[in-house]
Structure 1
Amino acid sequence: MALNFELYKVFYQVAVDLSFSKAAAKLFISQSAVSQNIKNLEKELETELFIRSTKKVQLTEAGKILFEHIEPAFNLIENGEKSIREINALERGEIHIGANDTISKDYLLPYLKKYHHLYPEIQIQITNRTSSTCIELLQQNKVDLIISNLPNPKITDQMEYQEIFSFNDLFIAGSEFKELREKEIKLKEIKYYPLLMLEAKTTTRKFLEAALTKLGIEIEAAVELGSVDLLIEMTKIGLGIALIPEYCLDLKKEELFEVKTKEKLPARKLAVVKNKKIPLSRAAEKFLDLLPENRE
């Protein structure tokens, strides 16, 4: 027997109210339509479900058994509808973002703070990986969206991105290299100093090597590290010169300075990347609304 949800919906409402007229009013149908639906269901089940009298309506034993089975299902449906309404009203839900440590700490924090203030019931999850690895998380649908450095060669045709921020990368040094403080050197001279660099798999490292290769400059890392924060700390103690995104550091507050070069590295971008064919949740869309578009 094929399940007729409409018949069971009518049965459920009559069983709750023990009244054909009240059920009709709540279902926005006529009382005669309610009676006909109940008759049809009783015919399909080959049993009476209600004892009808002029004074009241009662469930038969078969009706009680059926009600016991379908009541939990209707409660689940009602709870599901309530959950959807809450999600659409941003009263519950979650957003899952992928980004590297530097972007999370030095760029995203103020936007996350504002988002939490506006939508305190939305759970925020941040997965910290390299920009390249974040692409893999997006492909596996483990995150709603990612914030990535550009260029990122792992972005595929199945993804779309929106630029949100432009920045330059700076070579920085500490007092161990004070002779460079007031100088402007040729970019090719940077290879004569110990370079503190991010690991080879990172987008920033690949960007630097590609930019220098175009100028015929080959470099080697004196020290490889896993985060920009470590690059900065190692630079402070004089281990070498590091390249970092300008938004990560306020040089005025640190015992560091920019090593100026005659040739400038190309500017880079931060971008929101998402899957083309997977619609974002309302919670994720509201987060995107807070981010600027290609702010220079």
Structure 2
Amino acid sequence: MELRQLVYFIEVAKHKNITKASEEMHISQPALSKSIIALEDELGTPLIIRTNKAIELTDAGEVLLKYAVKMTSVLDEMYQSISDLTNLSMGQINIGLPPFIGSLFFPKVLAKFHHTYPNIKLDITEYGGARVVKSVEEGEIELGVAVQPLDEQAFNVYPIVKEEMKLVVHKDHPLALKEEVHIRDLRNEEFIFYHEEFALNEIIRNHFLIMAGYEPKILFKSTQWDLMSEMVEANLGVTILPQSICNRLYAKDIEIISLRPTIMWRLAVITKKGRYISNAGRTFIDFILKEPL
């Protein structure tokens, strides 16, 4: 038994006339009659009663019609579900976001994406940058947002943000009146620093080592940029924060200073090379690349 035969049977039952059904489906009357006879032979019982005026269903025909409608309905649902996925009417995306980055850039972007694709579920996991990279590599999450540089042999990398890191000091700090500071002049400063789970921890430490020949003195480590800035405001030390975060600092007791050599903060969406990325995932990447952060 073929689904095509069931569709033909439903049309015959609907029109109660083989000629009208054949015209509706654009097939020949003999071909349609042959399909019905084949069903009757397979089931071993008559399905229709042919009269001069119309066709009536037998009891077996009524049973077949009920199940044929159910089966074709399920088939239609399958096609619709696949079409919905292809057309992004539904789906799910697993995204890894570092807390710094998530709170800074993504609320508005995610809101706009949800408004555009309301039936796509966003499953967001907050990890530090290093763990986001590992989770994408191990297949735990489909895509993540991480700090560059990244291994482009292992990941597809889609840059989304590029901005300078700034030195943040208390207003009474000796450096507060300067417009820019070289990192070699920060040798004796105590830093409010990033926790090890953040990629910025290693990036900034390596920058100091390479450009000035020393590691910064770390007084305290945090995973929260607001706490880092508040500790600077309390005159407990200095810190280095991205420009976007500095733009949110309204405290009157701090100063924001340019660094030389410049430390760049570069963010990218990443996916694992060789892994299948869902249509929803690919569309999210396209969306965020077009959407200003």
TM-score (norm 1): 0.80
Shift of 1:264: 1.6
Q: The residue matched to 2:45 in structure 1 has which SS?
A: coil
- Deviations along 1:259-293, whole A, 9 cap, x unmatched? 444x3244232212224442441574266245249
* 1:14 aligns with one of 12, 36, 41: 12
- Structure-2 residue corresponding to 1:44: 42
Change (3 A) 1:259 1:141: same
* 1:233 aligns with one of 230, 242, 245: 230
* 2:210 aligns with one of 201, 211, 214: 214
- Structure-2 residue corresponding to 1:99: 97
**Distance of 1:144 and 1:22 partners within structure 2:** 52
Which residue identity does 1:179 align to in structure 2?
A: P
Change (3 A) 1:209 1:7: same
Change (3 A) 1:58 1:259: same
The aligned runs of 1:200-211 (5 Å cut-off) are 200-211=196-207
- Structure-2 residue corresponding to 1:145: 143
Which residue identity does 1:214 align to in structure 2?
A: I
The aligned runs of 1:81-160 (5 Å cut-off) are 81-139=79-137, 143-153=141-151, 157=154, 159-160=155-156
Shift of 1:202: 1.4
Judge conservation of contact 2:120–2:280 (CA < 8 Å) in 1. no
**Distance of 1:22 and 1:266 partners within structure 2:** 76
1:171 to 2:167 alignment: yes
Aligned residues: 289
Return 5+ residue gaps in structure 1 as ranges.
none
Shift of 1:224: 1.5
Change (3 A) 1:168 1:21: farther
Judge conservation of contact 1:197–1:223 (CA < 8 Å) in 2. yes
Change (3 A) 1:144 1:43: same
Which residue identity does 2:183 align to in structure 1?
A: L
- Deviations along 1:171-215, whole A, 9 cap, x unmatched? 21224x522202455424434222112211211112112222323
Judge conservation of contact 2:143–2:281 (CA < 8 Å) in 1. no
1:162 to 2:155 alignment: no
Which residue identity does 1:160 align to in structure 2?
A: N
Shift of 1:47: 2.9
Which residue identity does 1:53 align to in structure 2?
A: T
* 1:57 aligns with one of 55, 58, 82: 55
**Distance of 2:76 and 2:221 partners within structure 1:** 56
- Structure-1 residue corresponding to 2:31: 33
Return 5+ residue gaps in structure 2 as ranges.
none
Judge conservation of contact 2:195–2:221 (CA < 8 Å) in 1. yes
1:181 to 2:176 alignment: yes
Judge conservation of contact 1:111–1:291 (CA < 8 Å) in 2. no
**Distance of 2:5 and 2:159 partners within structure 1:** 53
- Structure-1 residue corresponding to 2:244: 247
**Distance of 1:252 and 1:200 partners within structure 2:** 24
Q: The residue matched to 1:218 in structure 2 has which SS?
A: coil
Change (3 A) 1:131 1:32: farther
- Deviations along 1:84-127, whole A, 9 cap, x unmatched? 44455554444443322222222233333433444445444433
Give the fraction of aligned pairs with identical amino acids, expressed as a percent: 22
- Structure-1 residue corresponding to 2:191: 195
Judge conservation of contact 1:51–1:57 (CA < 8 Å) in 2. yes
**Distance of 1:21 and 1:283 partners within structure 2:** 49
Higher mean alpha-carbon deviation, 163-172 vs 245-254, is at: 245-254
**Distance of 2:193 and 2:24 partners within structure 1:** 68
**Distance of 2:74 and 2:236 partners within structure 1:** 62
- Deviations along 1:35-92, whole A, 9 cap, x unmatched? 2122222223333333333333333333333344443332222223334444555544
**Distance of 1:76 and 1:231 partners within structure 2:** 57
Shift of 1:150: 0.8
TM-score (norm 2): 0.80
- Structure-1 residue corresponding to 2:264: 267
* 1:74 aligns with one of 72, 75, 93: 72
Q: The residue matched to 2:214 in structure 1 has which SS?
A: coil
Q: The residue matched to 1:71 in structure 2 has which SS?
A: helix
